[in-house]
Structure 1
Amino acid sequence: MNNINPKWMYLFVLSIVWGSSFILIKKALLGLTPYELGALRIIITGLFLFIMGYKTIKTIKISDWKWIIISGFLGSFIPAFFFAIAETEIDSAVVSIINSLVPLNTMLFGFAIFKIASTKRQVLGVMIGFIGTAILILKGSHLNPNQNYLYAIFVILSTFMYALNVNIIKKYLQHVKPLTIATGNFVAIIIPAIIVLLFTDFFSVKTFENPEFKMAIVYITILSFFGTAMAKILFNKLVQISTPVFASSVTFVIPIVALIWGFLDGETFSPLQGLASIIILLGVYLSHKKQSKIS
């Protein structure tokens, strides 16, 4: 057990936590609108992080705040709404599958914008994982022909933002503690989230009379604490102890967990999707190998 590289432990835990997030979003949407869900997720997460990390805020240098704020909006604020909107039309498992584009985008942005080199093995791993993801998407669309896949655009845009965020953390916030980054992110975005919530019908009597409202609050609280607050801290640490491509490859494993939850909730899962999941795992394994870098 002592020989296990810590980054694999972080990857495993994050896969379980984030893989379970999609079904929690799906369940919370039964009692909340996408904008209410996104805003509440940010507000509740912010409260958790302030309790844990408020003392670390004063350690953030003025020069780091620019990247902390950008990271907050790209890595948390906008995706919180985009994923909720996407799941109003697409199964939770399918959304998690499309989210697997993050490692590919991370590698491309890292090389093109941030000049962060990737190894040949990482490129091979990402491509193999992407093939597995493509199989999952194609099979998912075949099994769910009535779903509006135009809403996949919201997820794809989120993968671009996640990819930019992981590279920003690696290049500009490597020296900042993971809890500090996460807390700083939500200092920047909690006020905008409150403003969004005020423009919804969340505080109306009709909302509180909804029989599914209370359970939605339970789901969003669980999602906020585990799927956002704790996961953000773990992910920031993973980025710092590994490469951006390896850290983002957690999104290759997430669909496997999400598919299991989706299957238990009545969503369709096929043997071909099981094979695609194995291909994805192979891609994750290869993505962490160190070989000659592509310059």
Structure 2
Amino acid sequence: MSDTTKKWLFLFVLSIIWGSSFILIKKSLLGLTPYQLGALRTIITGIFLFSVGLKGLKSIKKNEWKWIVISGFIGSFIPAFLFAIAETEIDSAITSILNSLVPLNAILLGFAIFKIGFTKRQLFGVIIGFVGTSILILRGAEMNPNQNYLYAGFVIISTVMYALNVNIIKKYLQNVKPLSIATGNYVGIIVPAIVVLLFSDFFTDETFANPNFKMSMVYVIILSFFGTALAKVLFNTLVQISTPVFASSVTYLMPVVALTWGLLDDEEFGWFQILASAIILVGVYLGNKGRYKKSPK
């Protein structure tokens, strides 16, 4: 399979996996607090990755471990909590839509900090995709006036972190195996996650007595395996065989999946959302047509 075919396949699979993660977060929060959810998601994902990827850690060079740990915190640990907090006030579909800011941030931060260039067509595609997400946001605010959109700030902060992470992987970890990157990430963040869980009142009778607790744990396990462990390996591979802009454009396809789940979960969905989703797809196509280039130093 050629890299071109592989990158589009990975993009499609990741959009389904990550697009479904928002509804899993929503369901997990029925029996868990945001801090319990974020900590459990990190710990369970770490266990999955350690079971298959510990041997690969030997291939990581000493000078790469700094970037591995930084990548773990900004690409996994902190966003796991921020998204959970955001979804206590904002619908899962709206959260996924806000997450579409990642490609724009990836281009801007990649150029400003990492000296990674982009083509005019890529920038145009990102702008079109952003227009589509803006329509979805405005329509969502109109249809859900009681939601606290200040919590959108937690998602926006996460998109900046994701954008930094994708550029770090491309610039500093290009030659590290994707599974090794993911496993190494969790070597650095699993202990802090355990500390958070211990102070989150998880091990109390009140938590275990919650009627939604058992199903919430099922959702967290599914989220950890598919939405985090498997998805991180696929995403790291995608970054290495494509570009930061292409890889982060998965966040343009995710809202389509998330909105479908939202519809099935009785969240409102109208023609404006369908139109905006179509605009987003056009943005993905244009944003990833053309060659990736280095910016002048």
How does 1:101-140 map onto structure 2 within 5 Å? 101-140=101-140
Confirm whether residue 73 of structure 1 aligns to residue 98 of structure 2. no
Cross-structure match for 1:283: 283
Q: 1:2 Cα deviation (Å)? A: 7.6
Q: 1:58 Cα deviation (Å)? A: 1.5
Q: 1:84 Cα deviation (Å)? A: 0.1
Distance 1:208 1:112 in 2: 48
Distance 2:253 2:276 in 1: 11
* Structure 2 residue ranges without an equivalent (≥5): none
Question: For the Cα contact (< 8 Å) 2:117–2:292, is it kept in 1?
Answer: no
> Number of aligned pairs?
295
Distance 2:196 2:280 in 1: 37
Cross-structure match for 2:264: 264
Cross-structure match for 1:145: 145
What letter corresponds to residue 114 of structure 2 in structure 1?
F
2:176 match: secondary structure: coil
Q: Structure 2-normalised TM-score? A: 0.97
Cross-structure match for 1:15: 15
Cross-structure match for 1:42: 42
Cross-structure match for 2:25: 25
Q: 1:292 Cα deviation (Å)? A: 8.5
Distance 2:145 2:3 in 1: 46
How does 1:197-212 map onto structure 2 within 5 Å? 197-212=197-212
1:56 match: secondary structure: helix
Question: For the Cα contact (< 8 Å) 1:120–1:292, is it kept in 2?
Answer: no
Distance 1:292 1:193 in 2: 37
Distance 2:37 2:184 in 1: 21
What letter corresponds to residue 239 of structure 1 in structure 2?
V
Distance 2:35 2:3 in 1: 44
Q: 1:210 Cα deviation (Å)? A: 1.1
Change (3 A) 1:292 1:228: closer
Question: For the Cα contact (< 8 Å) 1:120–1:291, is it kept in 2?
Answer: no
What letter corresponds to residue 24 of structure 1 in structure 2?
L
Q: Structure 1-normalised TM-score? A: 0.98
Q: 1:47 Cα deviation (Å)? A: 0.1
Distance 2:3 2:64 in 1: 35
Distance 1:88 1:171 in 2: 35
Question: For the Cα contact (< 8 Å) 1:253–1:281, is it kept in 2?
Answer: yes
What is the alpha-carbon root mean square deviation over aligned residues? 1.3
* Structure 1 residue ranges without an equivalent (≥5): none
Q: 1:121 Cα deviation (Å)? A: 1.1
Distance 1:290 1:275 in 2: 25
What letter corresponds to residue 244 of structure 1 in structure 2?
P
What letter corresponds to residue 148 of structure 1 in structure 2?
N
Cross-structure match for 1:191: 191
2:229 match: secondary structure: helix
Distance 2:3 2:271 in 1: 34
The more displaced of 216-225 and 200-209 is 200-209
Q: 1:87 Cα deviation (Å)? A: 0.1
Change (3 A) 1:43 1:3: closer
Q: 1:16 Cα deviation (Å)? A: 0.1
1:35-61 residue CA offsets vs partner (Å, 9 max, x unmatched) = 000000000000000001011112111
Q: 1:211 Cα deviation (Å)? A: 1.1
Q: 1:205 Cα deviation (Å)? A: 1.1
Distance 1:64 1:253 in 2: 31
Distance 1:292 1:6 in 2: 17
Cross-structure match for 1:159: 159
Cross-structure match for 2:233: 233
Q: 1:25 Cα deviation (Å)? A: 0.2
Question: For the Cα contact (< 8 Å) 1:35–1:81, is it kept in 2?
Answer: yes
Question: For the Cα contact (< 8 Å) 1:170–1:239, is it kept in 2?
Answer: yes
Identity of aligned residues (%): 72
What letter corresponds to residue 11 of structure 1 in structure 2?
L
1:90 match: secondary structure: coil
What letter corresponds to residue 79 of structure 1 in structure 2?
P
1:55-103 residue CA offsets vs partner (Å, 9 max, x unmatched) = 1112111100000000000000000000000000000000000000000
Question: For the Cα contact (< 8 Å) 2:243–2:292, is it kept in 1?
Answer: no
Cross-structure match for 2:217: 217
What letter corresponds to residue 264 of structure 1 in structure 2?
L
